A and B are shown apart, each in its own frame.
Chain A
Amino acid sequence: MIYIKDLYKSFGTLEVLKGVSCHVKEKEVVVVIGPSGSGKSTLLRCINKLEDATSGEITVDNIPLNGSATNLNKVREEVGMVFQRFNLFPHKTALGNITMAPMKVRKTAKAEVYEAALKLLNKVGLSDKADVYPDQLSGGQQQRVAIARALAMQPKIMLFDEPTSALDPEMVGEVLAVMKNLAREGMTMVVVSHEMGFAREVGDRVIFMDEGMIIEEGTPEQVFGSPQHQRTKAFLSKIL
Chain B
Amino acid sequence: MRWEIIIDRIPILLQGALMTVELTVLAVGIGTVIGLFTSLFRISKFGLSRFLAATYIDFFRGTPLLAQIYLIYFGLPQLVGYVPNPWISGVAALSINSGAYIAEIFRAGIQSIDKGQMEASRSLGMSYGQAMRYVILPQAFKRIVPPLGNEFIAMLKDSSLVSVITLQELMLTGRTIVGSTYRPFEVYITVAVLYLVMTLSISRLIAFLERRLRTGDLH
Say yes or no: B122 contacts A76, CB within 8 Å. yes
Q: Is A73 an interface residue when CB atoms closer than 8 A count as contact? A: yes
Cβ–Cβ < 8 Å partners of B134 in chain A: 100, 104
Q: How many A-B residue pairs have CB under 8 A?
A: 69
The residue in B114, B123, B134, B142 that gathers the most chain A C-beta atoms within 10 A of its C-beta is B123
Cβ–Cβ < 8 Å partners of A79 in chain B: 123
Say yes or no: A48 contacts B120, CB within 8 Å. no
CB distance from B134 to the nearest CB of A (A): 6
Say yes or no: B125 contacts A101, CB within 8 Å. yes
Q: Is A217 an interface residue when CB atoms closer than 8 A count as contact? A: no
CB distance from B217 to the nearest CB of A (A): 6
Cβ–Cβ < 8 Å partners of A14 in chain B: none
Q: Is A135 an interface residue when CB atoms closer than 8 A count as contact? A: yes
Q: Is B47 an interface residue when CB atoms closer than 8 A count as contact? A: no
Interface size on B, residues (CB 8 A): 21
Say yes or no: B139 contacts A81, CB within 8 Å. no
Say yes or no: A153 contacts B138, CB within 8 Å. no
Question: Which parts of A143-194 form the interface with B (CB within 8 Å)?
Answer: 146, 149-150, 153
CA distance in complex: A101, B122 (Å): 10
Looking at A25-33, A82-90, A225-233, the stretch in contact with chain B turns out to be A82-90
Say yes or no: A135 contacts B217, CB within 8 Å. yes
Q: Is A137 an interface residue when CB atoms closer than 8 A count as contact? A: no
Interface size on A, residues (CB 8 A): 27
Say yes or no: A104 contacts B126, CB within 8 Å. yes
Taken residue by residue from 75 to 99, chain A's Cβ proximity to chain B (1 for < 8 Å, 0 otherwise) reads as: 0110111010101111100000000
Using a CB–CB cutoff of 8 Å, the interface residues on chain A facing chain B are 48, 50, 73-74, 76-77, 79-81, 83, 85, 87-91, 100-101, 104-106, 133, 135, 146, 149-150, 153
A to B CB contacts below 8 Å, 30 in the list = A48-B123, A50-B119, A50-B122, A50-B123, A73-B125, A74-B125, A76-B122, A76-B123, A77-B124, A81-B123, A85-B116, A87-B114, A87-B119, A88-B120, A89-B117, A90-B219, A91-B138, A91-B139, A91-B142, A91-B219, A100-B135, A101-B124, A101-B126, A104-B130, A104-B134, A105-B124, A106-B125, A133-B217, A146-B120, A153-B125
Which are the 9 A-B pairs with shortest beta-carbon distances? A77-B125, A87-B120, A101-B124, A87-B116, A81-B123, A90-B218, A105-B125, A76-B125, A73-B125
